Structure 1
Amino acid sequence: MIKSLTGPLARKRAALNKEDTGFTLIELLVVVIIIGILAAIAIPIFLSQQNQAKNSAAQSDLGNAKVAYVSYLVDTPAGASVAVATALTPYGFAATTGVTVTIKTGGTSFCIDAVSSAPAPNAFSITNAGGVVKAACP
């Protein structure tokens, strides 16, 4: 009786053990190498996109600072030198984190600088008569 129960049970265990195979070491190494290659391609592209985003934020801040500074000049015709963080806040300007904005005035004209925090800092400027350029104020 016991032999009649253990025989089919042993055959079932043997069949299960034959189908229960895992990945070989070579297959696992190939997958790890493929993931490494994909990461080596993707990470520099991702970092480049971050730097471009920081530069775009600086350029956008320049446009916003120009509009806010012109609004400030409408309220304060003397055009005194202004601290960006404090005086332009009521006019809708808030600098993006990682961007430094400074305003240089001279007579009836002004120039606004912005420096992004990208690894190689990029300086941008905007004047009262022009748009954003990739250079510091003269």
Structure 2
Amino acid sequence: MDTAMYFRLMGKLNARRNSLTEQSEKGFTLIELLVVVIIIGILAAIAIPIFIGVQNGAKESAVKSDLTNAKTAYVAAYTQFGSDATVTVPSGSITPTTTVGTTTFGALGATASVPNYAAGAGPTLKAGSTWTSFCIAATSPDTGKTFHISDSTGVASGVC
């Protein structure tokens, strides 16, 4: 056997052996995969509570917006129908479909952006309110927090 042919054959075998070992080393090890899964789990554990907090904040903002709309509608009703400052408005839940006198708050622009208010949890006019001195409260159905708005203040946390 000729030495040139021997080296040529050995060179081809060596090249084939090297290509086989390179192909078998192209995957991920189990440790690398576990590290990636653990990192994704840690990121999810951080991100999910933040997302829920932002979501709850948005739901509370919707309740605050509903209270502002109810106050605007209430003042519009007084301006349009209640020129007598001694008129006492009916107590109870005021929603966009509740009638006050001959008009509804919905007709005056009090729209509900929270579609799932529980019974009595929507914007509620507190007993003893008058056209010029009133307080409206609402509770978020998702977080359970209560907010109120009055004739002289904006939206605040807590009950009237």
TM superposition score normalised by structure 1: 0.79
Alignment of 1:123 onto 2:131: no
Greater helix fraction, Structure 1 or Structure 2: 1
**What does residue 18 of structure 1 align with?**
21
Q: Does the 8 A contact of 1:84 with 1:103 survive in 2? A: no
Q: Aligned residues: percent identity? A: 46
1:1-138 correspondence runs (5 A)? 16-20=19-23, 21-77=26-82, 78=87, 80-81=89-90, 83-86=94-97, 87-97=104-114, 98-99=116-117, 100-104=122-126, 105-107=128-130, 108-119=132-143, 121-137=144-160
C-alpha distance in 2, partners of 1:58/1:133? 11
Gapped runs of 5+ residues in structure 2? Answer: 1-8, 98-103
Residues matched between the structures, number: 130
Q: CA RMSD in A?
A: 2.5
C-alpha distance in 2, partners of 1:72/1:136? 23
TM superposition score normalised by structure 2: 0.69
Q: Does the 8 A contact of 1:125 with 1:132 survive in 2? A: yes
| Max Rg structure | 2
